[in-house]
A and B are shown apart, each in its own frame.
Chain A
Amino acid sequence: MRLRRSPRRRAPETIVALIDVVFFLLVFFMLVGRLDATAPFEVTPPLATVGTDLPAGGVTVSVSETGALALDGRPVSRAALLAALRPRADAADGPPLVRINAHAAVALRVLLPLVTALEGIGMTTVVLVVTPNAA
């Protein structure tokens, strides 16, 4: 007569641990990423090795290759852009950081007067967004 062991009961998988891992991944991606409105056109920022870290917050002005503008993802005319930003220069906590996310091939005749105009309406911090170039 042959005796068989009764089959062992499998240990129940702790699904709680799996949830923990997934949850941590989710929270991680939500923390390290910054949700930003993308421009309605393609923008490839210039490459540079000397840029500094881009702080969060502020407003993003996108400039397309042809000079079209977008404010925080919405296409605007230049006059509307300046009109929308002018009141924010007098904000209680100071003017916001203005990030100019310009296409690498945009002509400076578009870009530089825009910087001047932004400074003219009271923006004290204007930065140009660049892509770090591993060189």
Chain B
Amino acid sequence: MRLRRSRPTGAVITLTPLVDVLLILLVFFMVTSRYLNLDMIPMVERGTAPGAPGPAAAPEARPLLLRLAADGGVVWRGEALGPAALTAALTARVAAHPETRVLVLPAGDADAQALVSLLERATRAGIADVRVVRLEDR
């Protein structure tokens, strides 16, 4: 006669430590990460070679040249424009010539926020093509 050992019952896996680990991971990620909501504005895009119209182009096809001053102000045709005046001027121009393009000539001392604000105003006024004259290294 052969005796058989009674089968050992399998070790019970306790789930509590697993939950603990998961919870710690969760809390770790929630604490160490900063949630940033970020957008972008394209600066260089594929296939946007500037097709500058020559002097022979129709006057309305010539881009509007806006100067961005060092203090963040915008100068158009020699006169400084406040935000409201700029929006009004651009909107009027777009209403007359929907294809209006804008060329921004920034001062080196102006900050990034001033440039972004200007781009934003132009875009909101309905201008589809805004270009920035790049500064070269000194």
Flag if A50 contacts B123 (CB, 8 Å).
yes
A112 touches B134 (CB 8 A): yes
Q: For window 89-135 of chain A, which residues contact chain B by CB distance below 8 Å?
A: 99-100, 102-109, 111-113, 115-119, 123-132
Q: Is the interface of A mostly helix, strand, loop or mixed?
A: mixed
Q: Are B15 and A15 in contact (CB under 8 A)?
A: yes
B112 within 8 A of A: yes
B50-58, B90-98, B101-109: which lies at the interface: B101-109
Chain B interface secondary structure, helix, strand, loop or mixed? mixed
User: Across the interface, which residues of A come within 8 angstroms of B108, CB to CB?
Assistant: 107-109
Cβ of B135 within 8 Å of any chain A Cβ, yes or no, is yes
- A113 close to B137 (CB less than 8 A): yes
**When the two chains form their complex, are residues B26 and A26 in contact, meaning their CB atoms are under 8 A apart?**
yes
B interface residue numbers (CB < 8 A to A): 15-16, 18-19, 22-23, 25-26, 29-30, 33-46, 68, 106-117, 119-120, 123-124, 132, 134-138
